[in-house]
Structure 1
Amino acid sequence: MSAAPRFSPRTIGLGAAIVTVLVWTAFIVIARASAGRSLTPFDIAFARICGASLVLIPWGAWIVARDRDPARRSMFGLSPVPLRLTAIAGIFGGLAYALLAYSGFFFAPATHASVLLPGSLPLWTALLAAIVLRDRITPGRAIGLLLIVLGDLFVGGGSLLHALDGGVIWKGDLLFMSAAFCWAAYSVVVRKHSLDAVRATVAITVFAFVTYLPVYALLTAAGVVTSHLATAPMGEIAFQMFFQGIGSVVISGITFTRMVQYFGPVRTTMITALVPGLSALGAVVFLGEPLQWNLFAGLTLVTGGILFGVQRVRTSAAPQSPVPARAAGGGADA
């Protein structure tokens, strides 16, 4: 029998980059489109957790059984991470991010999410890393972060000014910024405790499965939370489980890690800077959303801020070998 074809590291890296950018871009467009259909944000979060759990819970149980280390497992032997870290990472990366992001799409258009979700993530991550990890914010990175702040203000400032007029877009903008903050907090936790990407992803999924699903079921049965799962088409529920769970959580988590392994954290960040522009374009083409001048200006500033900050970091960090190694540990899990 002939051996299975082996792909070169470059081919795998490029393929991982394409898949990651496409999934991240599609996440924004599909989540906004889903807001106009049958399911509520809590229903979509339920589908996301169930879809990811189908793959990651058996994977986590296998890792726990292989390690045979009681100190490195929790949640009934399903999480390969200690209970305290599983809970902290699970709250920020498993529950809060999903609930805030999906809720935001019910108030604000995808063009706003294109800038505020991936765009504000470097801002929150840099600030939290400076406070928690004592990372130094270089002058070049500070300029990049300033551009990101200006871009966010161009996008969200107008909706905040109209808050008193009865507009609701500002609510979605704040939810997007809060979701990005939660994912940044999760990323910093992962970096601080040097968690493996697969173990961290398994841990947040197990935590969400064990905590969110029973609470969601009880609140729904009591009538406290509205659910449309009983009346929504099965095809829509299955699609959300596949894309939001397996696609957004499992597949993009693995491909993003492979990107960092091949391209390094700096080039990976430059590649993912394509997401704001592509998702905004997708919102215009597929959802018919207008790309107004302030959105275009904010998009340009945010993308430029990401690229400028990363480029400056690469110039200053290139001579020092420990810096990329540390960044790779954080980037792979962010």
Structure 2
Amino acid sequence: MSPRTQGYALVAVTMCIWGGFTITSRLNAQWHISAWDITALRFALAFCILMPVLIWKKDTAFLWKKEPFILAMVGGVGYCLTSYSAFHFVPAAHAAIFLNGCIPLCTALAGFFLFREPFDKHTWVSLVIMLSAISAMCFLMYEETGVAFGFGDLLFFISAIWWGVFTVLLRQWKLSAWHSMAGVAIWSALVYIPVYLLFLPKNLTQPEPMHLLVQGVFHGIFVVIIATLTYVEAIKRLGAFKTGSIVTLAPFIAAVLAVPLLNEPLSIAIICGLLGMGVGALQPWRWFGRKDSLQVKLEQQKKN
């Protein structure tokens, strides 16, 4: 397989897992698995897998730096608790709009406020499209239901802020994919699991054991470990923009699939929000005439 073909294959794997995250997280609400419980299962399983590997490789020194700990608190514990909780209040389509759709915007805002990174023209265009889509969606939702913006939507937006800050810090600190993924999983487990066991409510007896097993394996192995590694490897082969644009489609596809799979409603307001946020996040106008990083590198090698 050529590097480009490998890249698209890795993107396909990442899309399946990210799309599955939206569906399975919404299933948590139907299976009576709380946000506290699924977060604990996710990090406990990832810790049990990754910590022995790090000890065997004698690669634990990086854990004692401040960067992995901060990333874990932001992109691990903070993001998981707010995003998993939001799925208990609103349908999966709202996640595509207020979480995944807002992540590019929140990332740009985090870069500006934390490191004074200026907005480029594409960010400004996306900002206008997204704000217009959200305004139209909220107006239509208010006309239909009398509620324009719910508590679950707020939690999703806070999750997008967490992930935007996490992305900017990750880019600024330039940690490897392995150290980033392992550091977030291990420090999240070390901090969250004791708090969960001592102080937080637990509801592990009500759900079916098979449901707990499925959710634990999917979120603890596929989401935390596999999707992180496939996403980073895809970026190496296709470039950050093309990889990010394609993968961004996954939650929007999952939101549509949730209609027949989970019997969720799909109103005019939701369709408006999905289309607007999808266009703003994907920035399709940047695809025309844009060369990916692999093509640029090959052309540079030919010149040399």
- The reply to whether TM is greater than 0.5 is yes
TM-score by length of 2: 0.88
Moved more, 307-316 or 33-42: 307-316
Letter in 2 for 1:272: V
The equivalent residue for 2:300 is: none
Alignment counterpart, residue 170 of structure 2, candidates 190, 209, 217: 190
Letter in 2 for 1:241: G
Say if 2:98 and 2:156, in contact at 8 Å, map to a contact too.
yes
Moved more, 7-16 or 175-184: 7-16
CA drift at 1:29: 1.2
The equivalent residue for 1:56 is: 50
Q: What CA distance in whole angstroms lies between the structure 1 residues aligned with 2:19 and 2:2?
A: 26
Question: Cα distance 1:275–1:73, how it changes in 2: closer, same or farther (>3 A)?
Answer: closer
Say if 1:115 and 1:155, in contact at 8 Å, map to a contact too.
no
The equivalent residue for 2:34 is: 40
The equivalent residue for 1:77 is: none
Q: Show structure 1 runs of 5+ residues with no match.
A: 1-6, 75-81, 220-224, 323-334
CA drift at 1:192: 1.3
Q: What CA distance in whole angstroms lies between the structure 1 residues aligned with 2:292 and 2:154?
A: 34
Say if 1:143 and 1:309, in contact at 8 Å, map to a contact too.
no
Say how many residue pairs are matched.
Answer: 295
The equivalent residue for 1:11 is: 5
Say if 1:26 and 1:279, in contact at 8 Å, map to a contact too.
yes
| In the alignment, structure 1 residue 208 sits paired with structure 2 residue 188 | yes
Say if 1:144 and 1:309, in contact at 8 Å, map to a contact too.
no
Say if 1:112 and 1:155, in contact at 8 Å, map to a contact too.
no
| In the alignment, structure 1 residue 281 sits paired with structure 2 residue 275 | no
Q: What CA distance in whole angstroms lies between the structure 1 residues aligned with 2:118 and 2:292?
A: 12
| In the alignment, structure 1 residue 112 sits paired with structure 2 residue 87 | no
Say if 1:121 and 1:180, in contact at 8 Å, map to a contact too.
yes
Say if 2:89 and 2:152, in contact at 8 Å, map to a contact too.
yes
Question: Cα distance 1:115–1:288, how it changes in 2: closer, same or farther (>3 A)?
Answer: same
> SS at 1:135's partner residue?
coil
Q: What CA distance in whole angstroms lies between the structure 1 residues aligned with 2:288 and 2:75?
A: 26
CA drift at 1:51: 2.4
| In the alignment, structure 1 residue 227 sits paired with structure 2 residue 202 | yes
Say if 2:47 and 2:189, in contact at 8 Å, map to a contact too.
yes
Where does 1:88-99 land on structure 2 (aligned, <5 Å)? 88-99=70-81
- CA offsets, 1:256-289, max 9 Å, x none? 1111011101111221231243012111121111
> SS at 1:227's partner residue?
coil
Say if 1:120 and 1:152, in contact at 8 Å, map to a contact too.
no
Alignment counterpart, residue 132 of structure 2, candidates 150, 170, 187: 150
Letter in 2 for 1:187: T
The equivalent residue for 1:307 is: 282
CA drift at 1:161: 8.8
Q: What CA distance in whole angstroms lies between the structure 1 residues aligned with 2:149 and 2:129?
A: 22
Q: Show structure 2 runs of 5+ residues with no match.
A: 298-304
Where does 1:63-82 land on structure 2 (aligned, <5 Å)? 63=57, 65-66=58-59, 70=61, 72-74=62-64, 82=65
CA drift at 1:162: 9.5
Q: What CA distance in whole angstroms lies between the structure 2 residues aligned with 1:160 and 1:90?
A: 37
Question: Cα distance 1:195–1:310, how it changes in 2: closer, same or farther (>3 A)?
Answer: farther
The equivalent residue for 1:329 is: none
Say if 1:39 and 1:229, in contact at 8 Å, map to a contact too.
yes
The equivalent residue for 2:25 is: 31
Letter in 2 for 1:35: A
Say if 2:33 and 2:204, in contact at 8 Å, map to a contact too.
yes
Letter in 2 for 1:44: I
CA drift at 1:226: 2.6
Alignment counterpart, residue 298 of structure 1, candidates 273, 284, 288: 273
Alignment counterpart, residue 153 of structure 2, candidates 173, 181, 189: 173
CA drift at 1:181: 0.8
Letter in 2 for 1:136: P
Say if 1:100 and 1:176, in contact at 8 Å, map to a contact too.
yes
CA drift at 1:55: 2.5
TM-score by length of 1: 0.80
Q: What CA distance in whole angstroms lies between the structure 2 residues aligned with 1:226 and 1:127?
A: 34
Q: What CA distance in whole angstroms lies between the structure 2 residues aligned with 1:251 and 1:137?
A: 32
Say if 1:39 and 1:227, in contact at 8 Å, map to a contact too.
no
The equivalent residue for 1:134 is: 116
Q: What CA distance in whole angstroms lies between the structure 2 residues aligned with 1:155 and 1:105?
A: 19
CA drift at 1:234: 1.9
Say if 1:160 and 1:170, in contact at 8 Å, map to a contact too.
no
Question: Cα distance 1:175–1:287, how it changes in 2: closer, same or farther (>3 A)?
Answer: same
Q: What CA distance in whole angstroms lies between the structure 2 residues aligned with 1:11 and 1:102?
A: 33
